[in-house]
Each structure stands twice: as C-alpha cells, then as structure tokens.
C-alpha cells in the first residue's frame, strides 16, 4: 500500500490499514537495531529537527537514535514555550527552523493542538512527539507493536489502561489505536482523573481497578505526575498506590499471561510495585526497544518510503 | 432636516405596533408615525419590503478604548456597531485604565460625542480597578453618565462585596451586571468541559463554574432588593436558576450572546481560537436551554459581548489564545435565525435587541414613540450576504462566523435622526 500521510499528528487520523502498515514497517526495521553496524543509508541527506518544548529523555533520544540509524542528520532543540506577550511565538520559531530546510520537525509541546497548529503553517513534515493531554502517536504505535509482538494480534484483546486518563496523551492515542485495531479498551482511575465523555471514544469505564483488569490480556499503567496535576485531584500517593497501583496481588486478576506495560518513567511503588515492574510479565523495556523501530518507520514513511524494507 | 422613512413594516414591540407605516423624523426626533405621511423637502428612505425598528441596543461590548486601541477604539467600534444596526452600545469597563472613575467615563463620552457613530453608554466598574477589593465611586460615575456597573472580565469573588454593591447601587437606580465565574472551578480550563474537550485533550471549564456564582448573586439580589443583571448566560443550569428567581419576583434580568445560542463546543475542533471565549461555547443541550430561555422570556436581552482581539492574540496555541470574539456585525442576522427557526416571534426578537436592553439600563430609547430621539434601524430581512472576516468594519477580525451565509442586515442605521450607516 501507499502511505499517504505527510504528517503524523495523531492516531486519530490513521486507519487500521495505516497502523498495520506502520507496525509491519517497524518490524522490518527491528533487525537493523540488532546488527553490529546499526546504520542504513535510507535517509542519507535528510535533516530531522527534534523540537522539544517539554523535557523528555526517552522520546527525544529514541527519535534521535531512529534518525541516526537511518543516516539522517538529527538536530535537537530544547525550547521554552512563550506567552502571547513575550518571547518568540511558536509560529516564528517554527518558521525560522523551517527556513533552514529540515525535512521533518519532530515536536513535543505542552499545548494540546500545537502540532496541528504547526502543520497548518509550515511545509515540512511534522511528527507529534506529544502535544499536551491530546496525543502521543509514536508511543501508542510502539505499545501496539509490543502487544502484537507478544500476543500475535491486537484484535479481540482486552486492554486495561489505569491511572490519570484526563491528563494522558498516551491513553488517548492508545484508545484511538487499540479500538481501531479491534481491541477492547477498559479504563479505570481516580474519579478526578477520568474525563467526561471518554466512553464515547469507545472505552469501557470501571469504578474499580480490579474490575478493569479482571481477565485483561494487557494492563497498561499510566504515569502519575502530582506536580502537574495539582493538589486537588488526589489526597496522597500512598492512597493512589493502594487503589490504583498494580502489585503482585491484583495482577493475579488479569489473564495469567497478561502483559504489564508502562510508558515510563515509572514511579516505583506508586503505579507499579517493583516486583511487577521487574517481573516476568513486564514488557516495559520491550516498549522502549520497539520505540526506536516504530520511530524509524515513521521517519521513513512520512518522507515517502513506499514499502517495508 | 427631515427624513421620511416610507412604506416599511414598522415594528415597535413596546406599543404593539406591527404595521405598514411611514415614520417622519424632524430635527433629530420622531415627529410623526402614520399612513401616507407627506413631508416637504424631506429626504426619503424607501423602506418598502423592509423592517423599521427602534435602534438596536447592545448592552455588552468591549470598545478597548482607552488603552488597547490596537484592538478597537471608540470610533472603529461604533462604526462596526452602526454597520450591524446598533444605535447604542454599552461598553464594559475593562479598559486600560479601568473605567472606575468619572474621569475615564468623561473621556469615553467626550470621544464618543466628538467622533463616535452611535451612542456610547459607559458601564463603570463595581470595584476600584476591577480588583474586587473596594467599591468604586458608582454615584460619581452614574452622575457622569454610566448606565450600570460591572467588573466584566473578572468576577466579584467576595460575597460580601457583591452584597454591598447591590445595596449601594440600588438608590442610584442602576443595575449591577454580573460576570459570573468561579475562578477556582475554572482553574486552567480553556473550553467547555465535556466530550469535545476530552477528545481534544484541552482542560475543561465546567458549567457549574458559571451557574454556582449566578445562584449566589441571585440570592444576594433577593436579599438586598438590588437589580442584578447577569451577563452572557451560557448554560442551562444558569437559565433555570434565573427562571426560578424571576418567578419568586427577584429583580434579576439577563442576556445571552448570539454565539451561545448558535454554536456548540464542536466549533472548537481543529483548535479554532476564534471559537474560544468566556464563558465558553457549551453543549447542544445548553444551546437548547438558552433558546428555551429566550423563548419563554427568562432571557431578556440579546447582547454580543463584542470582544475584539488582534490577530497576534488569536494566531497562537489554543490554550494561550485570548478569550472573545467580535459580534456587532453578525448579531442581527443570527438573531433573525431564531425567528426563522421558530424560537422567537419577530416582535420578541426585536424587543430583545431594543426595549428590553433599554429597560435594563433605564434608558428612554428602545421605542419609536413620537417625540423621542430618532434612533431607528431599517432592516432588510431577506438580504442574503456572506460574512467575510477580513471585510468586517471592526478593527479586529476574530469571528467564528467567517464564511457563514447570513440572511438579513441593517440597510440604514439612524442615530439621533442622522443616517450613520447606509448599506
């Protein structure tokens, strides 16, 4: 098939065929990552700018390695968000970078919709590396790749996503992707962290985390960020861990071969007990590994790569 | 100087007039209203097929003057007003400096008198600097020409201060105009809380952040006997609170903006900053409740909340874009859509743009009574036109209605007997 997306702004814009094609392409790139010489000339002469307005170690490094393994020149820019009245506007920042003729801008920004805003104003490809609480498409794709790798399929699986749904771009992107691929998505989280209308996006919402993970094939835990989410949403992390943390006990409710996932970084003892994070069912490091392959696939495909190599 | 508006369908809701009549203006006042009027040497406006109504009154606009003339000023704002059929606009005090003293009030009135295209009715601030701490000199400002008081843009957070404002304003016979918003409940919200906000990953503003302070203010009006006017009602719960209060006889009036009875939060999709305002566009149920409130008279008036902003303040990420849209040039056709949709009779629609706002602000205008100052709007109710944001008269172009096909427009706007606008 032909991949017709110039930008990757969100999973919302991708069809099931698109997702399958990206995952297949990523699969074909995985082999490169285990070679002695981990580099192919596919994107030689291409320039990729990683424009990050929010701190990120994992995602930025992953995109940078993905670009370098495809022989693209990658440049990292850490920028700070501006207000309307002071600082350079996002449009000006982007246009200045664009004037240096990059082929792709990979952007992370704290404002939901920032990547859509950019895509309407610049000519190069935009890949969303996370916009506010909206989407984080490469994360959802690497999650789906990891699930498919272990389960052989996505269709028909029961996937529980637990934690702060309201502020999670990971949850939204996975919700779009997994439902589109035929999986059942179950959500649970504190009453202050489940946004209104989320069931209209195709999810089943449970009050009790234990009901959500009962019989689940995948348990995906979300990172809790108390500093970002404000003091009114939770009493304490201790109580959060008690009701919404995954431990060896409640994990028994899930299918015996259930996968444990987390987009990282993990707050040990909060979202996950260390036993679970490091346990046999945890695929957290597979997620990170697959992240490079998925991002190689995205960089390759938005620049017009037509078939998996 | 005489002007004869001949052959139009004259609508004066105050006196139940809906008839094909001629209207004669002499020396700035309405001198005759009747059939087949003759007037030697009068300028004739042929109003056949058109509506002739009292001049439209917008009791909620932001003219941005003094201090933010790059967005709008008294000249451009009143020019936009008359282009939309308005002969009077009440301007909110959140200027720089705030209109919290008679000197600012006098500046506004002097500039409007010298250069404005329509009447300007200043609204003074309730509190000094609109800071919500101490009462402003309302008596002085009333004397200087203020028609009401509001901290619009900021809520009066203190219940005690709101109580005192309602008590203090009462003997001066002016309304307290409430911008109802619980800032704690609003938090970092940037659009209506609900499904669309959830999908877009934007922080929500729940309707209760508006309805809860309205409930408080309504009770304070009941308690004090002061006149509370609730600005820009946008949610069904607020309509219900006001409806119940009116039944109890509380002195409460309210207004709704055209965007709140026309658009839902779906308009935000695509992160459209021209669909960002405060209060935000709400759900379809809320829009239905606003329309029902207009229909049963709970909502007295239609007011635009005309809020011009420079393109640099809108052409940014959604969460940092400024709140507000321009509305003066689109309010009339959007109101006429309510008539076409069967929500309001034509007479009621015109009343909500004329006599009702006039009564709220204690004005003599809003009718076509003989002897009154001749503020008259001639409307072609069938005129089809398309909104082009860049062609708006207002200095600012921040409208969500760009490209909309409209039916109905003012063809002549007469302010104190002079043609201020002709289409």
Q: What is the ipTM of this complex?
A: 0.91
Q: Which among B193, B198, B201 has CB closest to A132?
A: B201
Decide if B310 touches A, using CB distance below 8 A.
Answer: no
List every span in chain B annotated with CATH 3.20.20.140.
55-361
User: How high is the pLDDT of residue A228?
Assistant: 64
Residue of B nearest to A115 (CA): B317
Q: If pLDDT is split at 50, 70 and 90, which confidence band does A296 have?
A: very high
Question: Where does CATH 2.30.40.10 sit in chain B?
Answer: 2-51+373-422
Intervals of chain B under pLDDT 50: none
Spell out which residues of chain B touch residue A109, defining contact as CB-CB under 8 Å: 317
Say if residue A309's pLDDT is above 50. Answer: no
For chain A, the first-to-last Cα distance in angstroms comes to 13
Residues 174-193 (B) with a CB less than 8 A from some CB of A: 187, 193
Q: B237 vs chain A: nearest CA distance in angstroms?
A: 18
List A75's β-bridge partners, or say none: A49
Task: Determine the average pLDDT of the residues in A168-182.
Answer: 98
Across the A:B interface, residue pairs with CB atoms under 8 Å apart total 74
pLDDT at res. A10: 98
Residue of A4, A86, A101, A200 with catalytic role: A86
| H-assigned helices in B225-343 | 236-247, 258-262, 284-295, 311-314, 331-340
Helix axis angle, A16-30 to A284-302, nearest 10°: 110
pLDDT band at A307 (very low <50, low <70, confident <90, very high): very low
Task: Name the CATH superfamily for B55-361.
Answer: Metal-dependent hydrolases (3.20.20.140)
Q: Is B342 at the interface with chain A, CB within 8 A?
A: no
Q: Looking at beta carbons, which residues of chain B come within 8 Å of A197?
A: 194-196, 198-199
Strands B29-34 vs A104-109: parallel, antiparallel or unpaired? unpaired
pLDDT tens-digit map of A68-119: 999 999 999 988 876 666 678 899 998 999 999 999 999 999 999 999 999 9
Question: Is residue B360 helix, strand or coil?
Answer: helix
Quick one: pLDDT band at residue A271, thresholds 50, 70, 90? very high
CB contact under 8 A, B318 and A89: no
Separation of alpha carbons B9 and B51, rounded Å: 5
**Confidence at residue A229, expressed as pLDDT on a 0 to 100 scale:** 61
Task: From chain A, pick out residues whose CB is under 8 angstroms from the CB of B313.
Answer: 84
Which residue in A5, A6, A30, A58 is the catalytic one? Answer: A58
Residues from chain B that touch A90, judged by Cβ atoms under 8 A, are 316-317
A192 secondary structure, DSSP code = G
Q: Which long-range contacts (CB under 8 A, 24 or more apart) does B16-19 make?
A: B17/B368, B18/B346, B18/B347
A116:B317 CB<8 A: no
Tell me, what's the pLDDT at A308? 38
Residue A229: how many CB atoms within 10 A of its CB? 16
* Residues of chain A positioned with their CB less than 8 A from the CB of B322: 84
Which residues, in sequence order, are bridge partners of residue B228?
B176, B252
Q: Tell which of B198, B207, B209, B265 to mutate to test the A interface (max A CBs under 10 Å).
A: B198
Which residue from B201, B271, B312 is facing A169, i.e. has the nearest CB?
B201
Q: What angle do CA A197, A199, A202 make, to 5 degrees?
A: 130
On chain A, the residues whose CB falls within 8 A of the CB of B316 are 84, 89-91, 117
Q: Closest partner residue to A91 among B194, B313, B315, by Cβ?
A: B315
On the 0-12 / 13-18 / 19+ scale of CB atoms within 10 A, B339 is middle
Residues 99-128 of B with CB under 8 A from A: none
What is the structure's pLDDT at A270? 95
Residue to substitute from B189, B195, B201, interface A, most A β-carbons within 10 A: B201
How far B258 CA sits from the closest chain A CA (Å)?
A: 26
Contacts for B385 with CB less than 8 Å, ≥ 6 apart: B333, B405, B406, B409
CB-CB: which of B195, B316, B318 is closest to A197? Answer: B195
Report in angstroms the alpha-carbon separations of A51 from A17, A109, A297, B265, B318. Answer: 29, 9, 19, 31, 19
Residue A254 above 70 pLDDT? Answer: yes
pTM of the model: 0.94
**CA neighbours closer than 13 Å in the CB half-sphere of residue A131:** 30
Q: Note whether A116 contacts B271, CB cutoff 8 Å.
A: yes
Active site residue B312: no
Considering only CA atoms, which of B179, B174, B200 is closest in space to residue B189? B200
Query: A232 pLDDT band (50/70/90 cuts)?
Result: confident
Q: Hey, what are A168's tokens?
A: 């999670």
* Structure tokens belonging to residue B75: 């000249």
Using alpha carbons only, how large is chain A's radius of gyration in Å?
Answer: 19
C-alpha A204/C-alpha B152 separation (Å) is: 42
Could you tell me if B41 lies within 8 Å of chain A, comparing CB atoms? no
Catalytic residue among A7, A109, A136, A172: A136
Nearest CA in chain B to A12: B199
In three-state secondary structure terms, B406 is strand
User: CB within 8 A of A50, min separation 6: which ones?
Assistant: A60, A63, A64, A67, A74, A75, A76, A77, A106, A129
DSSP H or E stretch at residue B112: helix B102-115
Q: Residue A227: its pLDDT value, please?
A: 67
Alpha-carbon distance A112 to nearest alpha carbon in chain B (angstroms) = 6
Using alpha carbons, list the distances in angstroms from residue B54 to B352, B358, B411, B417. 11, 11, 14, 12
Nearest residue, CB atoms, B316 vs list A84, A116, A195: A84
Q: Where are the beta strands (DSSP E) in A79-153?
A: 104-109, 125-131
Residue with tokens 């409460």: B252
Nearest CB neighbour to B198, from listed A89, A91, A196: A196
The answer to whether the Cβ–Cβ distance between B200 and A131 falls below 8 Å is: no
Question: Which residue in A112, A169, A200 is closest to B319 by CB distance?
Answer: A112
Coil vs helix vs strand at B388: coil
How do B405-415 and B418-422 pair as beta strands? antiparallel
Minimal CA–CA distance to A283: which of A111, A182, A150? Answer: A150
- H or E element that contains B414: strand B405-415
Which residue out of B305, B348, B375, B402 is catalytically annotated? B305
How many angstroms separate the CA of residue A45 from the nearest CA in chain B? 32
* HSE value, Cβ hemisphere, 13 Å, CA-based, for B385: 20
Closest A-chain CA to B310: A84
Binary contact (B202, A133; C-beta < 8 A): yes
Q: Give the CATH superfamily of B2-51+373-422.
A: Urease, subunit C, domain 1 (2.30.40.10)
Chain B 199-258, residues with CB within 8 Å of chain A CB atoms: 199-204
Contact list, A132 vs chain B (CB under 8 Å): 201-202, 319
CA distances to A269, B220, B261 from B237, in Å: 43, 18, 15
Out of A84, A90, A197, closest to residue B313 by CB: A84
Catalytic: A200? no
């Amino acid at each position: 098939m032909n991949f017709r997306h110039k930008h990757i702004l969100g999973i919302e814009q991708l069809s099931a065929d698109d997702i399958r094609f990206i995952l297949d392409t990523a699969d074909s790139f995985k082999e490169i990552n285990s070679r002695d010489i981990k580099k192919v000339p596919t994107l030689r002469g291409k320039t990729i700018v990683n424009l990050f307005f929010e701190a990120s170690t994992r995602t930025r490094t992953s995109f940078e390695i993905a670009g370098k393994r495809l022989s693209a020149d990658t440049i990292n820019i850490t920028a700070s968000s501006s207000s309307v009245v002071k600082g350079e506007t996002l449009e000006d920042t982007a246009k200045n970078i664009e004037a240096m003729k990059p082929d792709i801008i990979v952007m992370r920004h704290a404002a939901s919709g920032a990547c859509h805003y950019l895509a309407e104003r610049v000519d190069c490809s935009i890949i969303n590396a996370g916009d506010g609480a909206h989407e984080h498409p490469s994360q959802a794709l690497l999650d789906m790749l990891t699930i498919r790798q272990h389960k052989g399929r996505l269709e028909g699986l029961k996937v529980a996503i637990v934690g702060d749904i309201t502020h999670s771009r990971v949850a939204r992107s996975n919700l779009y992707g997994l439902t589109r691929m035929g999986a059942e998505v179950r959500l649970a989280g504190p009453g202050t962290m489940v946004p209104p209308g989320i069931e209209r996006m195709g999810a089943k919402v449970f009050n009790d985390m234990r009901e959500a993970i009962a019989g689940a094939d995948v348990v995906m835990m979300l990172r809790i960020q108390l500093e970002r989410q404000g003091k009114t949403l939770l009493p304490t992390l201790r109580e959060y861990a008690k009701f919404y943390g995954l431990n060896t006990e409640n994990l028994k409710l899930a299918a015996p071969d259930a996968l444990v996932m987390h987009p990282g970084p993990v707050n040990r003892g909060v979202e996950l007990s260390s036993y679970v994070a490091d346990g046999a069912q945890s695929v957290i490091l597979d997620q990170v590994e697959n992240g490079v392959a998925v991002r190689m696939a995205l960089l390759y495909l938005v620049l017009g790569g037509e078939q998996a190599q | 100087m005489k002007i004869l508006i001949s052959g139009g369908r004259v609508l004066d809701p105050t006196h139940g007039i809906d008839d094909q009549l001629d209207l004669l203006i002499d020396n700035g006042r309405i001198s005759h209203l009747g059939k087949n009027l003759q007037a030697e040497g009068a300028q004739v406006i042929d109003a056949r097929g058109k509506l002739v109504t009292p001049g439209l009154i917008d009791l909620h606009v932001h003219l941005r003057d003094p201090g933010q003339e790059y967005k709008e000023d008294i000249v451009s704002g009143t020019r936009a007003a008359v282009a939309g059929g308005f002969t009077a606009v009440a301007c909110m005090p959140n200027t720089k400096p705030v209109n919290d003293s008679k000197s600012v009030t006098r500046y506004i009135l002097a500039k409007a008198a010298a250069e404005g295209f329509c009447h300007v009715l200043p609204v003074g601030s309730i509190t000094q600097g609109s800071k919500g701490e101490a009462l402003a000199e309302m008596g002085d400002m009333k004397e200087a020409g203020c028609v009401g008081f509001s901290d619009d843009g900021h809520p009066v957070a203190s219940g005690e201060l709101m109580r005192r404002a309602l008590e203090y304003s009462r003997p001066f016979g002016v309304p307290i105009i409430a911008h109802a918003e619980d800032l704690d409940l609003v938090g970092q919200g940037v659009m209506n809380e609900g499904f669309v906000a959830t999908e877009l990953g934007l922080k929500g503003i729940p309707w209760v952040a508006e309805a809860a302070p309205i409930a408080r203010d309504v009770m304070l009006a009941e308690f004090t006997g002061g006149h509370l006017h609730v600005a820009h009602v946008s949610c069904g719960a607020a309509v219900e609170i006001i409806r119940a209060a009116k039944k109890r006889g509380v002195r409460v009036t309210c207004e709704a903006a055209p965007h709140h009875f026309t658009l839902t939060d779906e308009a935000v999709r695509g992160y459209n900053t021209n669909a960002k305002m405060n209060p935000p566009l709400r759900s379809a149920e809320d829009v239905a409740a606003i329309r029902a409130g207009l229909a049963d008279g709970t909502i007295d008036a239609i007011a635009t909340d005309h809020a011009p902003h420079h393109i640099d303040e809108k052409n940014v990420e959604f969460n940092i874009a400024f709140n507000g849209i321009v509305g003066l040039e689109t309010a009339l056709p959007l109101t006429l859509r309510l008539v076409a949709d069967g929500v309001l009779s034509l007479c009621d629609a015109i009343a909500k743009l004329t006599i009702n706002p006039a009564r709220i602000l204690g004005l003599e205008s809003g009718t076509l009574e003989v002897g009154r100052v001749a503020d008259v709007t001639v409307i072609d109710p069938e005129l089809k036109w398309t909104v082009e944001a860049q062609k708006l008269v207002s200095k600012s172009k921040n409208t969500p209605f760009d490209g909309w096909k409209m039916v109905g427009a003012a063809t002549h706007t007469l302010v104190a007997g002079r043609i201020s606008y002709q289409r």
